[in-house]
Amino acid sequence: MRIERGNHGVSYTDVGVMLNLYGADDEVAAELLGLADSIARNDGLGATAKHLVSPQMVQLMHLEATASVIRQFELLMVPGVLQTVRYARTVIRKMCPAEDTDAVVAAKTALRMERGQRLLGRDDRPSMTYMLYEAVLRSGVGGPDVMAEQVEHLLRVTRAPNIDIVVLPASVGAFRAMNGAFLIMDFDASDEPSVLYTDGHRADTVSREEPAELAVTRDAFVEMERQSLPLPDFLEEYRP
């Protein structure tokens, strides 16, 4: 249950159990267990990860390891690093190619859980603000039980130091980022430029070469944050 609630990372043994549950063949099992072993030894994402997510996501995961500030806005779903296993599995199954097997879905879910554990579990965890549009909490992803579990997980996470989760109410009407989700990362190193990550329907992008676009997006986040409520306050006033 600790994994289901997002409280615990996915270990090599956990991956083995999931692969057995989904009936993965020997070749797929060996490849995915290799990924789990690589992550467990903390020596990087492993070659298999590059086959599970986009090159832009692999780049983002590497950048997260040294980021000092992360600001993310999500329009329709919980940010990946904050998702519970059941929520993540539901979203991944719905969004992945039709030819993906249950074993591949399980591997993508395990990688997403490990990404969250590695970021949220860092000793030098960055200052993180996650902004959710109200629709994220109103959606029925996975059904009432999955959503209730996900909301409780978000409440636990927001109690941790350096992590803020805020909600932009639908009652604000039009807002600056109605055209989609984004993530901004800043770094302590003076020679390391900030990063803007956008996740589109067909492709995601990682950009360090558009300072004007980054400035506009950063300004939009600040404006929307002023219109938002801390997650506990939002739930007390507008609980779905």
Task: Summarize pLDDT for 16-35 with one digit per residue, the tens.
Answer: 666 666 666 666 665 565 55
Q: Which has more pLDDT, 200 or 132?
A: 132
Measure the CA angle with vertex 239, ends 237 and 240; round to 5°. Answer: 145
The predicted model gives 88-109 an average pLDDT of: 91
Contacts of 140 (CB under 8 A, 6+ apart): 147
| Eight-class DSSP state of 48 | T
The predicted structure's pLDDT at residue 240: 63
Distance (Å, whole) CA 36 – CA 48:
9
Residue 235 φ then ψ, to 5°: -65, -35
Closest-CA residue to 150 (of 81, 68, 87, 223): 87
Beta-bridge partners for 72:
130, 183
Return the SS3 of 57: helix
The predicted structure's pLDDT at residue 45: 58
The predicted model gives 45-62 an average pLDDT of: 78
Burial class (CB within 10 angstroms; exposed 0-12, middle 13-18, buried 19+) of 142: buried
CB atoms within 10 A of CB 11: 15
The predicted model gives 115-123 an average pLDDT of: 89
Residue for token pair 């059941």: 86
The predicted structure's pLDDT at residue 29: 60
Q: Which has more pLDDT, 217 or 191?
A: 217
For residue 217, pLDDT beyond 80: yes
Distance (Å, whole) CA 228 – CA 131:
8
The predicted structure's pLDDT at residue 148: 96
Residue 171: band (very low, low, confident or very high) from pLDDT cuts 50, 70, 90: very high
The predicted structure's pLDDT at residue 56: 86
For residue 238, pLDDT beyond 50: yes
* Contact assessment for residue 76 and residue 179, using Cβ atoms and an 8 Å cutoff: no
Tell me the angle at which helices 55-64 and 102-120 cross, rounded to the nearest 10 degrees: 20
Contacts of 178 (CB under 8 A, 6+ apart): 75
The topology (CATH level 3) of 12-238 is: Endonuclease; Chain A (3.30.870)
The predicted structure's pLDDT at residue 15: 62
Structure-token pair, residue 159: 């109690």
The predicted structure's pLDDT at residue 7: 42
SS3 of the chain: helix, strand, coil, percent, to 5: 50, 15, 35
Residue 42: band (very low, low, confident or very high) from pLDDT cuts 50, 70, 90: very low
Please state the three-class secondary structure of 4-25 as a single string. Answer: CCCCCCCCHHHHHHHHHHCCCC
The predicted structure's pLDDT at residue 47: 58
The predicted structure's pLDDT at residue 201: 56
The predicted model gives 162-182 an average pLDDT of: 95
For residue 5, pLDDT beyond 50: no
Lowest mean pLDDT among 84-88, 112-116, 140-144, 190-194: 190-194
